[in-house]
Amino acid sequence: MASKSGVHTDVNAKVTHKVWTETANFVVNSTVGFLFDYAQARGLGTDRISNKREELESALYTYLNTRHLRRVSIEVYEEGAGKDDEAIERFDLTFDVKDPDNLSDDEIKKLQDRDFNQYRKDVMSQLQDLDSLPSNVNYRILIWCVSENDLGQPKPDVKGWSSTTARSTDHLSKKNLGDDEDGSAIRAGAVNADASLWIR
């Protein structure tokens, strides 16, 4: 149940895409769209995403294709907060690239039979039940990568991005969003997404 008393949140969604069926373009567009939707749903505004869209898409394409990408986040914090301060809220999309040779026909069919766009709408609808964020907040976009991919190749540099440390979310606890009625994660079209809500 969403908090009604000013408690802030950390939202997490896990995304799996089928690189052998869908293009990187689908995954990148879906990811940016999810970030836009989240920012709008939480009253953050989308200027920061719009202004950095070219750099964001470039990084997503690069790290998706090199298999270094693990997560994309929107980190919400109080205006003027230091790097060591806690995040007020964080929204995560966690990526898992699957090899079709490791999936059964049934698993592939389940991935194909669900509608990711409807899943995204369902998650955003649940976000509407949350308390509003304070007016004095800002946010930044974080891209999480492994230093080496499964081939042992180092993460390439992408123009416009630099290393940083995420603010702590240790004070937040987890709640799932967008589950099926039986509690299992929704497998949505080309994207398998498990959304979680972190509540203090």
2-47 confidence digits (pLDDT tens): 333 344 555 555 555 544 445 678 788 888 998 999 999 999 999 9
- Where does the chain show beta strands of DSSP type E? 9-17, 69-78, 89-97, 137-145, 173-177, 186-188, 191-199
CA angle 125, 197, 180 (to 5 degrees): 60
Residues 6+ apart with CB under 8 A from 122: 178, 186
Which of 193, 195, 24, 188 lies closest to 111, judged by CA?
188
Domain spans of the chain, in order of start: 9-199
Q: Is 4 exposed, middle or buried (0-12, 13-18, 19+ CB in 10 A)?
A: exposed
pLDDT at 145 over 90: yes
* Domain 9-199, CATH: 3.30.900.10
- Which of 173 and 136 is assigned the larger pLDDT? 136
Q: How many CA atoms lie within 13 A of 36 on its CB side?
A: 12
Instruction: Map residue 4 onto helix, strand or coil.
Output: coil
Specify the pTM: 0.79
Which pLDDT value is given to residue 161? 93
Using a pLDDT cut of 90, give the percent of the chain over it.
Answer: 31
Judge contact between 142 and 75, C-beta under 8 A. yes
Among the listed residues 142, 183, 149, the one whose alpha carbon sits nearest the alpha carbon of residue 163: 142
